[in-house]
Amino acid sequence: MFRLITGIPGPSGFGSASTAEQVAQEIDASKLTAIVTGGASGIGLETARVLALRNAHVIIGARNMEAANEAKKMILRDNENAKIDVMKLDLASLENICYHNGFEIQFATNHIGHFHLTNLLLEKIKQTAKSTGIEGRIVNLSSVAHIHTYRGGIKFENINDERSYCDKRSYGQSKLANILHATELSRRLQAEGANVTVNSVHPGLIMTNLFKHSGFLMKILKFSTGILWKNVPQGAATTCYVALHPSLKCVTGKYFVDCNEFKPSAYARDEILAKRLWDFSNKIINAAEIDVKVS
């Protein structure tokens, strides 16, 4: 908490006050291709901008193509040599990711959509890392909110139960799933000997335009805890650090906060829970793909 408030760097040399540009400074990413989901606004856009600034080929995956194209124009205005493309990607859409629309939206979008997208790209990532010798890196955007979930961590038996639904705990459940996904995928890739790492990050409490539409209580929370909040460049720092920094070569299956490794909750460290979530997620995807073929 002291480092969070003061911005004093941790063991990595960076901290809560570090920006995405600072953590990526002088890194040459010209041989990398990065897909950034949610890259049309907020910390996703800042992540895409900084990766492009370091010469990576950036693909912005977004539901709103108008916003994505505006993001591309903005990046090119400041960096005319940026290699940037946009791709239609709706992680909450049956057409794009082939899963049941009936699933609780936060779990579906934050976890199942990204889980399926990662699976679709995984062989390409592994093959590219092997042929080029360049380490592939997968970064899951989680949250400290993963500690505020349902009893047992994941409600496998009644994921869509409306009677016990709590939007805050459902959000925490989806963010816990992001960490568990990274943990289990990391374990599997290590067992294969693949040159690919998988880590998860907490970006911090971010001041974005979303708060223009937030409820009264959330605005009070923002006011009363203002010293803990980050701006967007600071919010994108941990993602860029984990995606690019050479000091993290071969580091995998970890959780990062303020550009430093951090110990997540007991549920997030539960390997049995991670394996169960993996099987559960695959079952959802496989059932959805069968339904799509039938229909």
The reported pLDDT for the residue numbered 227 is: 55
User: What pLDDT, in 10s, does the model give residues 158-168?
Assistant: 888 778 889 89
What mean pLDDT comes out for the span 103-117? 88
Angle in degrees, CA 169, 46, 93, rounded to 5? 50
The reported pLDDT for the residue numbered 95 is: 47
Whether the per-residue pLDDT at 185 is higher than 60: the answer is yes
Whether the per-residue pLDDT at 236 is higher than 50: the answer is yes
User: What pLDDT, in 10s, does the model give residues 26-48?
Assistant: 999 999 999 999 999 999 999 99
The answer to whether 139 touches 43, Cβ cutoff 8 Å, is no
Whether the per-residue pLDDT at 214 is higher than 50: the answer is no
Paired with 86 in beta bridges are 60
Which is more confidently placed, 222 or 236? 236
What is the helix (H) or strand (E) element at residue 26, kind and residue range?
none
Distance, C-alpha 269 to centroid of its chain: 18
The reported pLDDT for the residue numbered 164 is: 83
Q: Which of 51-60, 120-129, 282-291 has the lowest mean pLDDT?
A: 282-291
The token pair that represents 9 in the structure block: 């760097």
pTM: 0.88
Please choose, from the candidates 266, 249, 291, the residue with its C-alpha nearest in 3D space to the C-alpha of residue 180. Answer: 266
Distances (CA, A) of 181 to 16, 73, 134: 25, 33, 23
The token pair that represents 179 in the structure block: 């960490």
Whether the per-residue pLDDT at 6 is higher than 80: the answer is no
Whether the per-residue pLDDT at 222 is higher than 60: the answer is no
- Please give the domain boundaries of the chain with CATH numbers for all domains: 20-294 (3.40.50.720)
Q: Which of 112-116, 118-122, 217-221 has the lowest mean pLDDT?
A: 217-221
Show which residues are catalytic. Answer: 165
Nearest 5°: phi and psi at 137?
A: -135, 130
The token pair that represents 34 in the structure block: 């990065």
The reported pLDDT for the residue numbered 212 is: 46
What mean pLDDT comes out for the span 183-190? 98
The reported pLDDT for the residue numbered 287 is: 79
What is the helix (H) or strand (E) element at residue 24, kind and residue range?
none
Angstrom distance (rounded) from CA 42 to CA 113: 20
The token pair that represents 196 in the structure block: 């690919």
